[in-house]
Every structure is written in C-alpha cells, then in structure tokens.
Amino acid sequence: MDAGGGEQLRLAEVRDQLIREEDSIVFALIERAKRPRNTPAYSAAAAAAGSLAEFFVREAEVLHAKVLHPFASLVCVNDAIWKMYFNELLPLFTADGDDGNYAETVALDFACLQALSRRIHCGKYVAEVKFKDAPQDYSPPIRAKDTNALMNLLTFTAVEEKVKKRVEKKARIFGQNVTLEDSVGKQDGDACDSHCKVDPKVLSKLYDMWVMPLTKDVEVEYLLRRLD
C-alpha cells in the first residue's frame, strides 16, 4: 500500500490493491509453470534454499511498520505460506520432471511466494479499514478474544465466490496461448482449459483453500491486537 503514515486507508484503495495482486499471482504462477517441478533445486542447493526461506519468512515482519500500528509487524504467516506453497500448491501446477534449471526455478518460486505473501498480508489493511468503519461491531469480540465471532464478521461468502470466479477467469485469459489467428473470445470457454499454462481451477482452489483463509487469519490476528 502506498498510504503514508498520516493518511486514512480507504477500502476502495485496499480492494484495488487486492485485485491487482490477483494479476501478479496469476502471472507468477504462469511463469513458474514454464519449468517442471525440479525438486532437486531445494535439496541440491539446500544452503541457499535455507537462507531464502529464512529471508522470506522474516521479510513481511518489517513491511507494514510504517503505515500501521507497531504491532502489525508481529502478524506474519509466511511460514504457513511457505509450507502451503511447496507441499500443496506446487504439485498442482507444475509438471513432474527435472530439467536442471535450478537457479531460475528458485527465482520463479520466490516470485510466487512474494506475490502470495503480499496479497495475504494485505489482510492487515483490510482489517484496519473494517475496524475503523465499525468499531462498535469489532470491539466486543476483540475484547472477548472471540476468534470465531471475528471470523464470522470477516466472512462474506458471496464476495469470496466472486473472487474465486475472477481469479479463475484471469488464469484462463492470461494463461492462454495468444496467436494472431485465434479470436480472443473463444478462449473464455472451459473447453480450452487444457491449453492454459496453469489450470484455471488451480487458481480458484488456491484462493478457496489457502489465500482467503490465510488472509482471514491475518485479519483476525491483527484485530486481536487492535485494542492493546
């Protein structure tokens, strides 16, 4: 977010940011899908991968210190993102195999991890905006440390369904093979998904199972500290 310390975060701005981050995530996954799984990249370069992991897990800690309350830097789910990415997501959108391009692979993974982390930690801004808009709704469950009540306040199923559909559509549009002969419109159909560089269903699953739940975890963690 570009909001300086003195500025009020606006919901429209935060939403635009989240929607823009969807493009970045789809682009990053499409780029990573150029390479096969390349599992040895992490064992062969274990030391480098280790420091990359450490760097990544720590990175978000300093990211939000300027704009938000000082405790914002304490809310960080990068370790969960790291595990999700390598254990769950990567096998869903990369081909089996090993082409030896380990340095490039690790760089592409890192771009995916950063895009996911940025999107998920935007939850802090979302939570701050929502709290400011309705402190009377949020303060009682915060004081009661009622995680479930907060999660319910933060959950809008209709919006989540729309986000899932949109990221799926983005994967379909951005992951198509563009040729001068094809009309663009025809690539919008499900029939073409097998030609997409990343299966569009993987994107809706990613958002459904991991991005939106982790974002809400960030929102809840942030709110629980909001009245300290």
Of residues 109-128, which lie at the interface with a second copy (CB under 8 A)?
Answer: 111
Cβ closest to a second copy, residue 95 vs residue 144: 95
Find the binder of a second copy among 37, 69, 132, 166 (CB under 8 A). 166
Cβ closest to a second copy, residue 27 vs residue 86: 27
Distance from C-alpha of 104 to C-alpha of 220, rounded to nearest angstrom:
36
Q: Give the interface segment with a second copy, choosing from 49-57, 80-88, 147-155, 164-172 (CB under 8 A).
A: 164-172
Cβ closest to a second copy, residue 2 vs residue 96: 2
Cβ closest to a second copy, residue 132 vs residue 169: 169
Q: How many Cβ atoms sit within 10 Å of the Cβ of residue 93?
A: 21
Is position 165 an interface residue for a second copy (rule: CB under 8 A)? yes
Could you tell me the maximum CA-CA distance found in the chain, to the nearest angstrom?
A: 61
Q: Give the interface segment with a second copy, choosing from 20-28, 83-91, 140-148, 151-159 (CB under 8 A).
A: 20-28
Q: Give the interface segment with a second copy, choosing from 136-144, 159-167, 207-215, 218-226 (CB under 8 A).
A: 159-167
Count interface residues toward a second copy (CB under 8 A): 28
Of residues 169-198, which lie at the interface with a second copy (CB under 8 A)?
Answer: 169-170, 173-174, 176, 178-180, 183-185, 187-188
Cβ closest to a second copy, residue 27 vs residue 71: 27
DSSP string, the chain: ----TTSPP-HHHHHHHHHHHHHHHHHHHHHHTTS---THHHHHTHHHHHHHHHHHHHHHHHHTTTTS-GGGGG---HHHHHHHIIIIIHHHHS-S---S-HHHHHHHHHHHHHHHHHHHHTHHHHHHHHHHH-HHHHHHHHHTT-HHHHHHHH--HHHHHHHHHHHHHHHHHHTS---SSS-SGGGGSGGGGGGSSS-HHHHHHHIIIIIHHHHHHHHHHHHHHTT-
Cβ closest to a second copy, residue 166 vs residue 201: 166
Min CB(71)–a second copy separation in Å: 23
Q: State the amino acid at position 63 in one-letter form.
A: L
Min CB(165)–a second copy separation in Å: 6
> Do 163 and 216 form a contact (C-beta atoms < 8 A)?
no
C-alpha count within 13 angstroms, C-beta hemisphere, residue 213: 9
Query: Contact positions toward a second copy, by CB under 8 A?
Result: 2, 20, 23-24, 27, 30-31, 34, 99-101, 111, 162, 165-166, 169-170, 173-174, 176, 178-180, 183-185, 187-188
